[in-house]
Structure 1
Amino acid sequence: MWKETVSVSPPYHFDRVLERLSLDPLNAVSLEKREVRLPLRNKEKKPCIVTVQAAGTADAPEFIVSGTEDRDGLMEEVKRIFRWKENLQPVLDHFSATSLSKLFEEHAGTPLVLDFHLYHCMMKCIIHQQLNLSFAYTLTERFVHTFGEQKDGVWFYPLPETIAKLDYGDLRELQFSMRKSEYVIDTSRMITGGSLNLDELDLLSDEDIMDKLVKIRGIGPWTVQNVLLFGLGRPNLFPIADIGIQNAIKRHFGLKDKPTKEEMLEMSKEWHPYLSYASLYLWRSIE
């Protein structure tokens, strides 16, 4: 058993992080204990649980991180997922002089937290495509409960090797459409076969990743943008086709109708180079 106390640069509002994580029924979150138990994997892909508990405040953020094995590798993963090496103050300073200033005051200190694994992120994005959020979570939960694994009450997404061996009918039984079954399994087969290397994506530019991934059947620009945002933590992404962002902009600016693509591009010019944070805070405003 290992335990470490970590301090990060303020502001960092972990309670808001937990609120957002708790929207996904697969996440092991306790709002009362101010903690989340992370389903991570070590270098041998063995499931390992790491607990992250808040011990400070948004203005003096401190965390107790604990686990039972592979401290060094897993600790780096925790820091990556929660963006503890980044400082949110420059982001808040930038938005204080923009049309989203009130939104950033209200949600100050909310970091761009990543999904727990890039494959997990990609599968979730493919499953969530063109579904309402409630059924998207239900379908993802079925996928993980059926083909993933549980350890001490924490659910782990299945490995690509597991999904690559499935028949499309295995997912159809969970109410996946035929096309979605093909997208999930075929992408997993590309990963296990070596034609799609997830580890190399972090070395590529946003544009190169977009060019590479949209060639894969079932992966469109919306999915790639969400992978860039929540899989890789890229800071300047704005998914203008996302209905949630459209609704948030309509509400925030008191518009009669949803904004057009042209209107969104125009109003977002002043939000560069932190479009990902604009996206996150707009989503938070309607969640």
Structure 2
Amino acid sequence: MAQGIAGSLADSQVRLVGKPAYWDEACAQLMRRDRILRKLIPQHGEHWLQHQAPAFMTLARSIVGQQVALRTADQLWQRLLERCGQPLSPAALLALSPDELRALGLPKRKVEYIHDLALHFDARKIDPQAWQAMPDEAVVADLCAIRGVGRWTADMFLIFNLHRPNVLPLDDAGLLKAISQHYFSGEPVSRFEAREVAQAWAPWCTVATWHLWRSLNTVAVRY
């Protein structure tokens, strides 16, 4: 969800992939550099970023979850899956009218956004396969050309679909909350302060972010 902790997809919509090749090295380096991560990382030693959903579903789920609480996002997503079938496809979504989508509880603007996303995929205006070999910022630029996809959604895609190692989602309220709790004794933090803390994490910001999310008792950190 935008401005919040990443949520979960239905289990039938994700596949388990192996531990990222960089994960162990990243954890070891982060524990050497950062006193907070030295305590947090061993708490989740048997878990890592491993779930991956199809590109369309990752982006659609992110749009549905923008600017709403995690529980609300999950409810809206489940309604959409029940109405369109699983796995969710661009064609299934385009088969529904805007009124039918709004009847599920989706705001008018989100209906417009996910419809535009489905059109991009259906008309092959974008090439998700090409993103595998593109630099992070080039992928972000491609994604942000789609209505309703902003920096937060693009960052979630980089983390949860492409498993890029060095993504720092400064627009995510969950990350800022965790940094506040662990590094600033609960005081609110700015994006500038968060970026200062994260300087020690590069080139493994994704791994640090994932563990900070888990520290907030987020059981399933995946999109």
Match of 2:72 in 1: 135
Structure 1's 84 and 267: CA in aligned 2 closer, same or farther, altered over 3 A?
closer
Q: Work out which of the residue numbers 237, 244, 250 in structure 1 matches 2:167.
A: 237
Q: Partners in 1 of 2:8 and 2:145 — Cα distance?
A: 29
Q: State the structure with more CA Rg.
A: 1
- Is 1:213 the counterpart of 2:197 in the alignment? no
Instruction: Decide whether aligned partners of structure 1 residues 228 and 85 sit closer, same or farther in structure 2, where only a CA change above 3 A counts.
Output: closer
Instruction: Indicate the residue corresponding to 1:153 in structure 2.
Output: none
- RMSD over equivalenced CA pairs, Å: 2.0
Whether 2:135 is the aligned partner of 1:200: answer no
The structure with more helix, counted as a fraction of residues: 2
Within the candidate set 21, 26, 39, 1:102 is matched to 39
* Aligned partner of 1:93 among 28, 47, 52: 28
Show CA shifts across 1:90-129 (max 9, x none): 1221012122211112222421123322111111111111
Superposition TM-score, scaled by structure 1 size = 0.68
CA separation in 2, counterparts of 1:107 and 1:84? 13
> Is 1:225–1:239's contact at 8 Å kept on the other side of the alignment?
yes
Whole-angstrom CA distance in 1 between matches of 2:46 and 2:27: 8
Q: Is the 8 A contact 2:19 2:50 kept in 1?
A: no
**In 1, Cα distance between equivalents of 2:179 and 2:20:** 30
2:207 maps to 277
Q: Equivalent residue for 1:126?
A: 63
- 1:176 — aligned with what? 106
Change (3 A) 1:243 1:39: closer
Match of 1:255 in 2: 185
Would you say the 8 A contact 1:248–1:282 is kept in 2?
yes
Question: Going by fraction, where is strand more abundant, 1 or 2?
Answer: 1
- For 1:214 and 1:197, locate their aligned partners in 2 and report how far apart those are by CA, in whole Å: 14
Q: Count residues in correspondence.
A: 210
Instruction: Give unmatched runs, 5+ long, in structure 1.
Output: 1-22, 28-37, 41-77, 149-155
Provide the secondary structure at the position in 2 that maps to 1:218: coil
Residues 148-186 of structure 1 show CA distances to partners (whole Å, capped at 9, x for unaligned) of 1xxxxxxx3311111123221121000100000010111
Contact 1:114 1:233 in 2 (8 A): no
Q: Which has the higher contact order (CA 8 A, sep 6+)?
A: 2
Closer/same/farther in 2, CA of residues 278 and 176 from structure 1, 3 Å limit? same
Q: Which runs of 5+ in 2 are unaligned?
A: 1-6, 219-223
Closer, same or farther: CA 162–230 of 1 in aligned 2, 3 Å: same
SS of the residue 1:270 aligns to: coil
